[in-house]
């Protein structure tokens, strides 16, 4: 189960989040936990350098691209390596949309498209599409293949 | 022609889109086991052209396989396996699809229902092994985990052990030519090409040599540990951890031992590429759970399993240098699991010690590692000593970060599991915690190592105190078990002990007979003097527990000590009473209110023993038989003492002889004569919970002596002894609470408590009650001293409800001020009560009565005033008397305007008439004649704003 996808800026403000199967009160904990992880570790990190954390049987993989930090939280089959795949799909998609390593402004400019693509990648707590081409087509409401 | 081609392409595209959509939808549907159509469609999906569709199909099928492996195996065999579609999935570029494939293959290769179809099983097994070569770490690690038997959260030891055997013995033999052939034919049949690179990369042009699974896995893991990517490192460490778990399981189950003499050094893997040899093994490996390790017969391998494992461990060790704490945590867990009991663990110890000095470790991760130690111990009890030393490292280096509950769990498991020889070590590990610098600046000077931590972090000082408290409690509760010293198994007759009243001799005798218990006693005595008040309280209670449970001379030793402690404190008793027993600093121990009932109990026990000896001598001298009346009296004393003892800690009632071993014959005579069966009594649920004892025994007790100047305590105790229900409840609260945390004794004494459900019901009820108390305590506001409030909550939850509220409740809350006022108006009454307790000449009943009176009193403080409804009438009369201050209310007038600063407070207008209800810390709780503008009629106002 992919429990959470979260985007923050460098200051730790949450830009976009998707929770699945996490209670409202737990979400608060997760938000603060993830933001703290980011502020503790992501300063001075390379672009797309992967970081890992775990809490009991829940795994967290996170990275920074440009001004944006992306966190993915999962459990069961979504262990740290599967989460790395998910994160890769997300970051490559975001880079595609924002054309380069995104600034916060660029990210917010393309917010709608990022949301559409994210919904194609993560659907109801499972990873759906990873192929950039497919994601682009689906975000435009085109069939996968024609 | 071109049009036709385009049309075909379009058709296939549309079909693929639809297939994907259908499978995606199917995945969202709830699983429908037993529905052949559902299964059929899902299995069909495996051959779908869309990789995401295949992933969904495999996810569904693998999930179904856990429910109905046979049907799934048959369906997959028909459609996918024989056609080679599953082989194609191996080349599919969707990682998760291959992960699900690994799961599916694992489930089907282990399914019992397929026992008569070894051919099918081996096919799945081969695919699973092939997945070990997968380029993606995710898939490879999933396959390793599956082989190791780690599939879901249910850990089954046999499966784990079987997994280790399989990993170390199995050989990966690549499928021969037929697979790719059928592969392509299937592709042709399907029409819809499975993504591109599939068949090309796998031409099987030359047969690949079979390889030992273990070697493959090791190589893979070592290369993963060289990876710079943190998730890969973390995952690899986790896989090693699982490997260690399976290995430990294999060691613990003899039948699965990979090496016959259970020494990893002697195990030699013949993973060389000897074809003939491996084929021979292949046949063996195909039989699941092959218990015999065939490789031992074939020697001459290049590398032993042991050497490969140690090089892997080396790789894990280097990972500890990673800057990410979570990776380090996973690596340390892996090392703990890979540590075998016969190897030196100095290196592991050094690593952990070094890591713990790093302040960046989060508390949760440290506790997880402690839990790993716990799990490791459970898997291999031989390692108790090693693990306790590691746990001690945690306790000494980061006392502020670890949870005392987790540490206690570890101690307890080690103590119970490590056998007679390790008990002493287990207890030593606990006492090490007591040697940590107590969070008092005065005694800190002797300890230099943790001084910095203490000074730097008050939070960790508090945590350390909690830890010490937990350790002291643990020591009291388990010292007897660890020392195997029980009063009911002691051989020393009480007379002997009384004769050697010389303290030095006694201590010498005690330590020579049982150094473990003597050591524990010494530690506890030190704690009862030093440390914070909370620790002293727990230490005193631990001491009484030991005194009750041990025979002589330990009981005498504790008795002497408690006497000394109480006398030391009694000099300051008036001072302490005035402040409700709060610690006054270095002047007193602040324990007199706790010690007095304990000393009275021991007094009673010794007095009764004396009397018994005297009576026996008299009878012997006169050569007289014991009359029935005398026996009855003796039996009653026995039962009464037993009841009292049960209030302090759990003892096995059937075996425990408060009057000493000599009384057993006489009591047995009386029991036989009157057909009282000590053990059969427990079949009665009322007896099991201790109710009937108390209800019946009320007639046998002489009426308690009530002093006129103590209406509160005496009145309550009166209510108690007449057997009113709530009072009995509270006594049982003691009994139940004290009984829950003594599993060791219960194990020793195999007396079954048959009425479990009844017990549970009681326990539940009582627990709920105590929870309410906690809530009320916590909500009782800022006025109550924080230490006490937090203490009550921790004691009731952690320390099994040893009845602390009774002893401290009076000082904790200020909400029920009528009571408090009443108390403060009669401080002499309480002091005289306690001092009378100390003067050891009262009839024994009084002690219990006053103690329970205190309990009663504290409970009413805690807001249980509703239980007054159940008290008898005469009791109610007294209570009403006590409420007197409330009935003649005080009136006052507001001097100034006052604006309420909070919900509790009340707005005042100068000149307003008020009824003063009670006073709290410089505030009056007042009631107006009529509600104010804000609608509030009563609340708190500052004392200075009101004339009284």
Give B830-881 pLDDT, tens digit per residue: 333 333 333 333 333 433 334 444 444 444 334 433 433 443 444 443 434 4
Q: What angle do CA B832, B835, B841 make, to 5 degrees?
A: 110
Neighbours of B378 (CB within 10 A): 13
Q: Quick check: B368 and A124 CB within 8 A?
A: no
Q: Quick check: A56 and B141 CB within 8 A?
A: no
Cβ-nearest to B326 among A52, A77, A143: A52
The residue of chain A with its CA nearest to that of B10 is: A146
Any chain B CB within 8 A of the CB of A83?
yes
* Cβ-based contacts of B20 with chain A (< 8 Å): 144
Q: In CATH, what class is A2-139?
A: alpha beta
CB-based burial, B481-520: b 16+ in 10 Å, e otherwise = bbbebbbbebebebeebeeeeeeeebbebbbebbebbbbb
Residue A120 in tokens: 């194609």
* Residue to test with chain B: of A55, A74, A81, most B Cβ within 10 A: A81
Give residue A70's pLDDT.
96
The model's confidence at residue B586, banded by pLDDT at 50, 70 and 90, is very low
Cβ-nearest to A61 among B10, B95, B231: B231
Average pLDDT, chain B: 68
The model's confidence at residue A112, banded by pLDDT at 50, 70 and 90, is very high
Burial tier of B206 (Cβ tally within 10 Å: 0-12, 13-18, 19+):
exposed
Q: Is the peptide bond before B553 cis (omega within 30 degrees of 0)?
A: yes
Interface of B with A (CB under 8 A): 10, 13-14, 16-17, 20, 24, 27-28, 50, 52, 94-96, 99-100, 136-138, 141, 153, 229-235, 238, 324, 326-327, 329-330, 364, 368
Cβ-nearest to A81 among B28, B137, B330: B137
The residue of chain B with its CA nearest to that of A54 is: B326
Measured between CA atoms, how close is A33 to chain B, in angstroms? 11
* Cβ-based contacts of A36 with chain B (< 8 Å): none
Give residue B759's pLDDT.
44
The residue of chain B with its CA nearest to that of A42 is: B324
Q: Quick check: B326 and A128 CB within 8 A?
A: no
pLDDT in tens, B715-773: 333 333 334 444 445 545 554 444 333 333 333 333 333 334 444 444 444 444 444 43
What is the pLDDT averaged over residues B480-501?
Answer: 62
The model's confidence at residue B496, banded by pLDDT at 50, 70 and 90, is low
Between B305-319 and B325-338, two packed helices, what is the crossing angle to 10 degrees?
A: 160
Strands A126-127 and A122-123: antiparallel
Quote the longest CA-to-CA distance of chain A: 47
Determine which helix (DSSP H) or strand (DSSP E) holds A127, and give its type and residue range.
strand A126-127
Strands A122-123 and A14-19: unpaired
Give residue B717's pLDDT.
38
What is the pLDDT averaged over residues B126-132?
Answer: 89
Q: Give the residue with greater pLDDT, B442 vs B371.
A: B371
The model's confidence at residue B326, banded by pLDDT at 50, 70 and 90, is very high
The residue assigned the tokens 């009995």 is: B728
The model's confidence at residue B543, banded by pLDDT at 50, 70 and 90, is confident
Cβ-nearest to B99 among A54, A56, A77: A77
Measured between CA atoms, how close is A99 to chain B, in angstroms? 25
Q: Are B337 and B248 in contact (CB under 8 A)?
A: yes
The model's confidence at residue B504, banded by pLDDT at 50, 70 and 90, is low
Dihedral through CA B25, CA B26, CA B28, CA B34, nearest 10? 160
Q: Quick check: A129 and B52 CB within 8 A?
A: yes
Q: Give the residue with greater pLDDT, B63 vs B624.
A: B63
* Residue to test with chain A: of B326, B362, B365, B372, most A Cβ within 10 A: B326
Residue B231 in tokens: 């998730």
The residue of chain B with its CA nearest to that of A62 is: B231
Q: What angle do CA B874, B877, B882 make, to 5 degrees?
A: 135
The model's confidence at residue B138, banded by pLDDT at 50, 70 and 90, is very high
| CA atoms in the 13 A half-sphere facing the CB of B93 | 10
- C-alpha Rg value of chain A to the nearest Å: 14
The contacts of residue B564 (CB under 8 Å, 6+ apart) are none
**Of the candidate ranges A33-47, B275-289, B335-349, the one whose mean pLDDT is the lowest:** B275-289
**Of the candidate ranges B139-153, B602-616, B662-676, B896-910, the one whose mean pLDDT is the lowest:** B662-676
* Cβ-based contacts of A51 with chain B (< 8 Å): 230, 324
pLDDT at B908 over 70: yes
Measured between CA atoms, how close is B111 to chain A, in angstroms? 21
Residue B396 in tokens: 């000494």
pLDDT at B663 over 70: yes
The model's confidence at residue B427, banded by pLDDT at 50, 70 and 90, is confident
Entry pTM: 0.66
The contacts of residue B835 (CB under 8 Å, 6+ apart) are B570, B573
Task: List Cα–Cα distances, B265 to A53, B245, B909, in angstroms.
Answer: 35, 18, 89
pLDDT in tens, B213-233: 888 899 999 999 999 999 999
* Cβ-based contacts of B17 with chain A (< 8 Å): 143-146
d(CA B300, CA B874): 92
Q: Give the residue with greater pLDDT, B275 vs B47.
A: B47
Q: Are B526 and B471 in contact (CB under 8 A)?
A: no
The model's confidence at residue B583, banded by pLDDT at 50, 70 and 90, is very low
The residue of chain B with its CA nearest to that of A49 is: B229
d(CA B735, CA B802): 9
* Residue to test with chain B: of A41, A58, A80, most B Cβ within 10 A: A80
The residue of chain A with its CA nearest to that of B229 is: A50
Residue B927, classed as helix, strand or coil, is strand
* Cβ-based contacts of B99 with chain A (< 8 Å): 77, 82
pLDDT at B917 over 90: no
Q: Quick check: A53 and B326 CB within 8 A?
A: yes
Cβ-nearest to B230 among A52, A55, A129: A52
Give residue B679's pLDDT.
52
* Cβ-based contacts of A128 with chain B (< 8 Å): 24, 52
* Cβ-based contacts of B234 with chain A (< 8 Å): 52, 54, 59, 80
d(CA B445, CA B442): 7
Cβ-nearest to B234 among A56, A80, A129: A80
Residue B43 in tokens: 């299995």
Chain A 118-137, residues with CB within 8 Å of chain B CB atoms: 124, 126-130
Residue A67 in tokens: 């001004």
Residue B798 in tokens: 């952690």
pLDDT at B545 over 70: yes
* Cβ-based contacts of A130 with chain B (< 8 Å): 94
Any chain B CB within 8 A of the CB of A88?
no
Walk across the sheet containing A58-65 and list its strands. Answer: A14-19, A2-9, A68-74, A58-65, A51-55
Measured between CA atoms, how close is A112 to chain B, in angstroms? 24
Q: Quick check: A82 and B138 CB within 8 A?
A: yes
Give residue B678's pLDDT.
58
Neighbours of B8 (CB within 10 A): 11
Highest mean pLDDT among B455-459, B860-864, B924-928: B924-928
pLDDT in tens, B611-646: 888 888 888 888 777 788 888 888 888 888 888 888
Measured between CA atoms, how close is B237 to chain A, in angstroms? 12
pLDDT at A79 over 50: yes
Residue ranges of domains in chain A: 2-139
pLDDT at A69 over 90: yes
What is the pLDDT averaged over residues A26-38?
Answer: 93
Determine which helix (DSSP H) or strand (DSSP E) holds B945, and give its type and residue range.
none
Give residue B241's pLDDT.
92
d(CA B109, CA B126): 9
Measured between CA atoms, how close is B224 to chain A, in angstroms? 12
Query: What is the DSSP code (8-state) at residue A49?
Result: -
Give residue B198's pLDDT.
37
Residue A122: which of A106, A138, A105 has the closest Cα? A138
pLDDT at B353 over 50: yes
What is the pLDDT averaged over residues B245-256?
Answer: 83
d(CA B473, CA B404): 11
pLDDT at B296 over 60: no
Q: Quick check: A128 and B52 CB within 8 A?
A: yes
* Cβ-based contacts of B324 with chain A (< 8 Å): 41, 51-53
Give residue B937's pLDDT.
86
Q: Quick check: B94 and A144 CB within 8 A?
A: no
What is the pLDDT averaged over residues B347-354?
Answer: 89
Give residue B755's pLDDT.
37
* Cβ-based contacts of A145 with chain B (< 8 Å): 13, 16-17, 50
The model's confidence at residue B507, banded by pLDDT at 50, 70 and 90, is low
Cβ-nearest to B16 among A79, A129, A145: A145
Any chain B CB within 8 A of the CB of A37?
no
Q: Quick check: A145 and B13 CB within 8 A?
A: yes
d(CA A111, CA A105): 10
The residue assigned the tokens 């019901």 is: B761
Give residue B598's pLDDT.
85
The model's confidence at residue B257, banded by pLDDT at 50, 70 and 90, is low
pLDDT at A106 over 60: yes
């Amino acid at each position: 189960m992919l429990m959470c996808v979260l985007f923050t800026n460098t200051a730790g403000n949450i830009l976009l989040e998707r929770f699945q199967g996490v209670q409202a009160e737990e979400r608060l904990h997760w938000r603060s936990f993830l933001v703290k992880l980011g502020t503790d570790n992501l300063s001075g990190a390379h672009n797309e350098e992967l970081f890992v954390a775990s809490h009991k049987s829940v795994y967290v993989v996170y990275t920074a691209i440009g001004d944006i930090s992306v966190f993915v939280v999962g459990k069961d089959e979504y262990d740290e390596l599967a989460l790395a795949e998910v994160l890769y799909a997300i970051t490559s998609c975001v880079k595609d949309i924002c054309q380069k390593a995104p600034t916060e402004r660029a990210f917010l400019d393309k917010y709608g498209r990022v949301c559409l693509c994210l919904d194609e990648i993560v659907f109801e707590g499972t990873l759906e599409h990873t192929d950039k081409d497919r994601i682009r087509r689906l975000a435009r409401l085109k069939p996968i293949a024609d | 022609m071109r049009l036709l081609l385009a049309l075909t392409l379009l058709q296939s595209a549309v079909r693929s889109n639809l297939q994907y959509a259908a499978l995606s939808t199917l995945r969202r549907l709830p699983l429908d086991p037993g529905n052949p159509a559902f299964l059929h469609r899902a299995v069909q999906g495996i051959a779908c052209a869309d990789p995401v569709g295949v992933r969904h199909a495999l996810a569904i099928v693998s999930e179904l396989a856990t429910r109905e492996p046979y049907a799934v195996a048959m369906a997959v065999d028909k459609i996918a396996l024989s056609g080679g579609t599953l082989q194609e999935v191996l080349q599919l570029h969707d990682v998760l699809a291959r992960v699900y494939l690994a799961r599916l293959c694992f489930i089907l290769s282990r399914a019992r229902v397929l026992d008569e179809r070894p051919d099918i099983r081996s096919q799945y097994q081969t695919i699973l092994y092939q997945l070990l070569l997968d380029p993606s770490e995710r898939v490879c690690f999933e396959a390793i985990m599956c082989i190791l038997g780690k599939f879901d959260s249910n850990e089954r030891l046999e499966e784990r052990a079987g997994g280790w055997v399989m990993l170390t013995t199995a050989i990966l033999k690549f499928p021969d030519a037929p697979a790719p052939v059928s592969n392509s034919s299937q592709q042709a049949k399907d029409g819809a090409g499975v993504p591109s690179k599939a068949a090309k990369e796998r031409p099987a042009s030359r047969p690949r040599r079979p390889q030992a699974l273990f070697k493959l896995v090791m190589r893979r893991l070592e290369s993963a540990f060289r990876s710079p990517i943190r998730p890969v490192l973390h995952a690899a460490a986790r896989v090693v951890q699982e490997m260690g778990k399976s290995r430990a399981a294999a060691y613990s189950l003899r039948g699965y031992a990979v090496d016959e003499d259970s020494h990893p050094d002697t195990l030699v893997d013949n993973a060389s590429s000897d074809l003939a040899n491996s084929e021979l093994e292949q046949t063996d490996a195909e039989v699941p759970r092959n218990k015999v390790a065939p490789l031992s017969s074939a020697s001459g391998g290049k590398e032993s399993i042991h050497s490969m494992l140690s090089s892997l461990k080396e790789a894990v060790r280097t990972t500890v240098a990673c800057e990410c704490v979570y990776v380090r945590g996973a690596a340390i867990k892996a090392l703990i699991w890979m540590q075998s009991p016969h190897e030196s663990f100095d290196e592991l110890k050094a690593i952990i010690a070094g890591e713990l000095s790093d302040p960046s470790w989060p508390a949760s991760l440290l506790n997880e590692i402690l839990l790993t130690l716990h799990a490791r111990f459970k898997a291999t009890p031989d390692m108790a000593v090693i693990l306790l030393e590691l746990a001690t490292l945690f306790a000494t280096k980061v006392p502020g970060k670890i949870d005392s509950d987790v540490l206690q769990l570890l101690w307890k498991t080690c103590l119970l599991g490590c056998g007679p020889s390790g008990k002493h070590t287990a207890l030593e590990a606990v006492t090490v915690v007591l040697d940590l610098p107590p969070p008092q600046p005065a005694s800190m000077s002797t300890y230099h190592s943790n001084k910095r931590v203490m000074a730097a972090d008050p939070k960790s000082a508090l945590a350390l105190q909690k830890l010490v408290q937990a350790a002291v409690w643990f020591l009291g509760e388990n010292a007897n078990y660890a020392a195997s010293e029980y009063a009911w198994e002691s051989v020393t007759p009480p007379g002997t002990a009384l004769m050697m009243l010389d303290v030095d001799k006694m201590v010498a005798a005690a330590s020579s007979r049982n150094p473990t218990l003597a050591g524990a006693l010494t530690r506890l005595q030190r704690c009862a003097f030093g440390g914070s008040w909370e620790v002293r309280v727990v230490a005193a209670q631990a001491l009484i527990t030991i005194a009750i449970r041990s025979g002589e001379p330990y009981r005498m030793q504790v008795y002497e000590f408690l006497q000394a402690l109480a006398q030391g404190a009694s000099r300051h008793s008036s001072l302490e009473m005035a402040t409700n027993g709060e610690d006054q600093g270095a002047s007193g121990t602040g324990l007199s209110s706790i010690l007095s009932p304990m000393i009275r109990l021991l007094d009673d026990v010794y007095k009764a023993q004396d009397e018994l000896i005297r009576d026996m001598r008299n009878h012997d001298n006169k050569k007289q038989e014991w009359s029935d009346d005398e026996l009855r009296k003796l039996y009653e004393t026995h039962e009464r003492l037993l009841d009292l003892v049960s209030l302090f800690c759990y003892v096995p009632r059937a075996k425990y002889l408060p009057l000493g071993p000599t009384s057993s014959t006489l009591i047995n005579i009386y029991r036989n004569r009157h057909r009282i069966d000590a053990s059969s009594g427990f079949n009665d649920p009322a007896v099991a919970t201790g109710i009937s004892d108390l209800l019946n025994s009320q007639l046998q007790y002489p009426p308690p002596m009530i002093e006129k100047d103590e209406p509160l305590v005496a009145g309550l105790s009166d209510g108690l002894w007449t057997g009113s229900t709530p009072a009995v409840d509270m006594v049982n609260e003691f009994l139940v609470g004290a009984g829950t945390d003594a599993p060791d004794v219960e194990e020793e004494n195999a007396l079954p408590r048959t009425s479990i459900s009844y017990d549970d019901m009681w326990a539940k009820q009582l627990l709920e009650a105590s929870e309410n108390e906690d809530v009320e305590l916590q909500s009782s506001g800022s006025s109550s001293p924080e230490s006490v409030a937090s203490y009550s909550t921790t004691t009731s939850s952690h320390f099994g409800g040893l009845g602390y509220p009774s002893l401290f409740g009076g000082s904790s809350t200020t909400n029920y001020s009528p009571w408090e006022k009443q108390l403060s108006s009669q401080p002499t009454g309480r002091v005289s009560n306690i001092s009378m307790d100390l003067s050891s000449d009262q009839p024994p009943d009084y002690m219990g009565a006053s103690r329970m009176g205190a309990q009663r009193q504290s409970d009413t403080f805690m807001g249980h005033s509703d239980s007054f409804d159940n008290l008898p009438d005469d009791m109610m009369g007294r209570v009403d008397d006590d409420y007197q201050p409330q009935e003649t209310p005080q009136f006052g007038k507001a001097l100034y305007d006052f604006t309420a600063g909070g919900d509790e407070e009340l707005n005042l207008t100068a000149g307003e008439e008020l009824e003063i209800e009670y006073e709290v810390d410089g505030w009056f709780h007042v009631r107006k004649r009529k509600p104010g503008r804000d609608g509030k009629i009563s609340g708190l106002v500052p004392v200075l704003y009101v004339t009284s």
